[in-house]
Chains A and B, each alone.
Chain A
Amino acid sequence: MAASENHYAIETVSLTKIFPDWWGRAKVIAVEDLDLKIKHNEIYGFLGPNGSGKTTTLKMILNLLHPSKGATFVMGGIISDPKISARVGYLPEESYLYKYLTARETLDFYGRIFGLPGNIRRSRIETLLEMVGLSGMGNRQIGTFSKGMARRIGLAQALINDPDLLILDEPTSGMDPMGTRQMKDLFVELVKRGKTILLCSHLLADVEDVCDRIGILYGGRMQVEGTVKELLQQKNETQIRTGKLSVQALEKIKSIATSECDKVDVESPMDKLESFFVKIVAQARQEKQRTSGAETGTGISGFLAEKPVVRRDNVLDQLVTAKVQPEPPKESVVETTQAEKSKPAADDQLLRQLSQKSAELSPIQTPATDDVSEPGPKEKPDVKKNVLDELIGKKDTGKTEVTRPDDMEDTADA
């Protein structure tokens, strides 16, 4: 990574795509003079209404379309170079998977294309199937999968080469809210592990939750670009979140607030529908109701904490298990949009504990720890962690979160 530090993960130079009509006359200008610069280790949200040129841009980056003008560079090279494309994962806007292959064969096929040796390929396939919640359906043909399930396999194939750069086009389309949530958690997790993600979507909630920077495209031109915080923060309002307060305390706060400004609203916060839905499904699962569909399964925790094989060949997986460490109960957390650097610090501590072991395996991991501790836009990881904790807590009734990492280390040592 040090070598590519000078470069952007993706860089386009005055990228232009003009679709000509039958006679060769310019018909549609899909993308015009686009200068996209995506840094390493960030999630970049690429937004825009239908037909704004998002997918066309992605296809040019991936060499599926040829630019009319300009150039694209990926990881400091061109994507048609196998060395570069070996480091890229791509999930297109629909799952263009071979319907006649089973889920397992699909992943095997893409694994082989990347030239992964057999044992690594097999262990990754199992891990990924488990991660996307389809481990029970590995031998079913893709043709029998629902759109969301195929989408999960699509995501798994994008991750099979452990890519440094992920290009995702509408990753959550067709996914149920549980899957959406898990996917978003995964993205944040991957970025913590040093990956870069280009997320192309028009589902604004998804983008807002996870992205570091966003760019909005319209008519093939970049309209606005910046960090989510920069673009969305309302500097002239303040929000205070606390646990349940007594009426007296509320009154006191109100009076303090009214002394500084006229507009004060006090109300109990609403659950987001997404969080609510996740909670209900998690309850149902705890009651062991049966489903023929995709399971939320072990999610990320399964991928990272329960597969020693993967952990051995990628120590980052160990680091990420820090995620399932218990956090302070969320009721006691006072969150404001401004001040909340405490959680990353807590994570950092755990990560360091873990990385003492992992450092022996591979020194490359050290920068990754730094990545996590970097004070970046960290609101989203926290939001996610709450939900993740809920999920884990309710799912694995036999274990508590605290014991899980220990279990994992035992197996790893053994």
Chain B
Amino acid sequence: MRSVWAVARNTLAQAVRMKIAIVVFLLLIILLPLMSVVMGGDGTLLGKLQTFSSYGLGLIGFLLSILTIAISCFTLSNDLKRKHIYLVLTKPVQRFQLILGKLLGIFILNVTLLAIFGSVLYGCILFIPRLSDAPADQKIQVKYEFFTSRIGIKSELDIEALNQKAIEQFNTLKKNNQLPEGMSVTRILGELRSQEIMKAKSVSPGRIKQWDFENVNVKDPQDPNSAIFVRYKYETSAPTPDDQVYGMWRVGDIRQYEAGTGLLTTPIYSVERQEATKTMHEFPIPANAVSSDRYLAVAFFNNPAVNRTTIIPENVEILYKTGTFTGNYIRATLTILIQLIFLSVLGVALSTWLSFPVAILACLLVFFAGLTNGFITDSISGLGSGIGIIYSLTIKPLLWLIPQFDGAYNPNGYIIDGRTLRWTFLLTTAGITLFVKGLLAMLIGMFIFSRREIAKAVV
């Protein structure tokens, strides 16, 4: 293994002396603190923190990814092209050890750079509220909504029941011969279905809608500092004056009303808010609203006295704290590290048989495909579902091989919303990205590399 270590050191030296790592280093060390000053977000302290941390993490992830791709594609292909490898492989180094050494070198570089810039960004994030002259309520908001690590529970619609309803309605229409003419059955069903969904979601003036949450595992509900957050977004059936909505909320164990004992063991909180439509909002309530069987209900009343339109509260969710911001931040940087390791493996594996320009092109393609994985998968599966079995045997497994760096795999979202990035999720991602996809790429690379002729045919 000494030889692996020797190769790793050499790869590190190469990255540093070829100045490519230096450029990325300088870029980040200048940009990150600069961004912390320049970026304002929506003017609130929370907005500034969210914008800065999102761009900061994004920039670190992106630049280090590019660096990783460049180095990993360059190091082996350059050795081959400049024939440095003649002097290495004729010594007691197995070919797979050379690949492992290269990967180890890039890994050490990535860990170092990520640790440095992760710390710089972390420092900047911690300092922004201290240096800010924002009002106290904003600082408190930041404490509860940003510098935290929260788990969210969503209340899903019962789509199956809604489908059933739509079908029933379809049958009724059919029986009464009221089916619209000139429309296919699927289309009619689709329309009915979306009508049902809309009906289930929307709250017309004077009505109440309730969401039930179970298994709300708040650590210590009686702790006065412990809070639960209700998160939602308003849509309206028609534009409202100033795009504002007046909402009345009740949060707590609402079953106590129905029991009719007149006794409240846990408080039910009432919240009234005036807020803009089409953006996410949150309000906190004390955690003691959760019942002893960890149940919590959220009810929304569309007060006809102040609202004239049907209001559709979307993505209603409750959030509560489970960990610390620091722990969450570390997991977020580890997510970036997983991405970097995968890219380095891919780059080295590709350059075992491709020249530098081709390898880096292929690697960049995979990288950007990974960044837009959700979009690509959705659009292609939309197109491909028409060809059924052929699709599921050919394109689908190929699509699966594309790494996922977007959506739930993008750490920014977690940090911005102060949401917990769970260890189990992190480990699963690492397992799939590294130990399945990455390992596959590495084994293919090693196989090709162990078989190929190192020297070129020169006669």
Chain A residues with a Cβ under 8 A of chain B = 19, 28, 30, 51, 53, 55-56, 59, 62-66, 79-80, 82-83, 85-86, 88, 90, 92, 94, 96-98, 100-101, 105, 109-110, 112-115, 154, 157, 161
The answer to whether B91 touches A55, judged by C-beta atoms less than 8 angstroms apart, is no
Q: Smallest distance from the beta carbon of A142 to chain B beta carbons, Å?
A: 11
The answer to whether B9 touches A109, judged by C-beta atoms less than 8 angstroms apart, is yes
B71-97 interface mask toward A, CB cutoff 8 Å, 1 = contact, 0 = none? 000000000001111111111111000
Name the contact of B18 in the complex, choosing from A28, A66, A86, A100 (C-beta under 8 A): A100
The answer to whether A112 touches B9, judged by C-beta atoms less than 8 angstroms apart, is yes
The answer to whether A109 touches B453, judged by C-beta atoms less than 8 angstroms apart, is no
How far is B458's CA from A51's CA once the two chains are assembled, in angstroms?
8
Q: Which 8 A-B pairs have the closest CB atoms?
A: A112-B6, A82-B92, A100-B17, A64-B455, A19-B457, A96-B83, A115-B2, A86-B92
How far is B96's CA from A80's CA once the two chains are assembled, in angstroms?
12
Chain B residues with a Cβ under 8 A of chain A = 2-3, 5-7, 9-10, 13-14, 17-18, 82-94, 453-455, 457-459
Q: Smallest distance from the beta carbon of B75 to chain A beta carbons, Å?
A: 11
Name the contact of A113 in the complex, choosing from B13, B84, B92, B453 (C-beta under 8 A): B92
Residues of B within 8 A of A101 (CB): 10, 13, 17
How far is B83's CA from A55's CA once the two chains are assembled, in angstroms?
14
Residues of A within 8 A of B457 (CB): 19, 28, 30, 65
The answer to whether B87 touches A100, judged by C-beta atoms less than 8 angstroms apart, is no
The answer to whether A98 touches B14, judged by C-beta atoms less than 8 angstroms apart, is yes
- Closest B residue, CB atoms, query A30: B459
Residues of B within 8 A of A62 (CB): 86, 90
Tell whether A112 pairs with B2 under 8 Å between CB atoms, given A19-B459, A64-B454, A98-B14.
yes
How far is B92's CA from A86's CA once the two chains are assembled, in angstroms?
5
Interchain Cβ contacts under 8 Å between A and B, 8 examples:
A64-B454, A92-B87, A97-B84, A101-B10, A109-B6, A113-B6, A114-B92, A115-B92
Residues of B within 8 A of A59 (CB): 455
How far is B6's CA from A199's CA once the two chains are assembled, in angstroms?
29
Q: Smallest distance from the beta carbon of B138 to chain A beta carbons, Å?
A: 51
- Closest B residue, CB atoms, query A95: B87
How far is B6's CA from A114's CA once the two chains are assembled, in angstroms?
9
The answer to whether A83 touches B92, judged by C-beta atoms less than 8 angstroms apart, is yes
- Closest B residue, CB atoms, query A167: B90
- Closest B residue, CB atoms, query A141: B17
The answer to whether B83 touches A113, judged by C-beta atoms less than 8 angstroms apart, is no
The answer to whether B453 touches A65, judged by C-beta atoms less than 8 angstroms apart, is yes
Question: Which of A110, A113, A115 has the most chain B CB atoms inside 10 A of its CB?
Answer: A113
The answer to whether B454 touches A96, judged by C-beta atoms less than 8 angstroms apart, is no
The answer to whether B92 touches A28, judged by C-beta atoms less than 8 angstroms apart, is no
The answer to whether A28 touches B459, judged by C-beta atoms less than 8 angstroms apart, is yes
The answer to whether B87 touches A157, judged by C-beta atoms less than 8 angstroms apart, is yes
Q: Smallest distance from the beta carbon of B21 to chain A beta carbons, Å?
A: 12
Residues of A within 8 A of B82 (CB): 96
How far is B2's CA from A114's CA once the two chains are assembled, in angstroms?
8
The answer to whether A110 touches B87, judged by C-beta atoms less than 8 angstroms apart, is yes
The answer to whether A63 touches B91, judged by C-beta atoms less than 8 angstroms apart, is no
The answer to whether A63 touches B459, judged by C-beta atoms less than 8 angstroms apart, is no
Residues of A within 8 A of B91 (CB): 85-86, 110, 113-114, 161
The answer to whether A82 touches B18, judged by C-beta atoms less than 8 angstroms apart, is no
User: With contacts A64-B454, A109-B10 known, what are 5 further pairs, Cβ within 8 A?
Assistant: A62-B86, A85-B90, A101-B13, A113-B6, A157-B87
How far is B85's CA from A59's CA once the two chains are assembled, in angstroms?
12
How far is B89's CA from A64's CA once the two chains are assembled, in angstroms?
8
Residues of B within 8 A of A98 (CB): 10, 13-14, 84
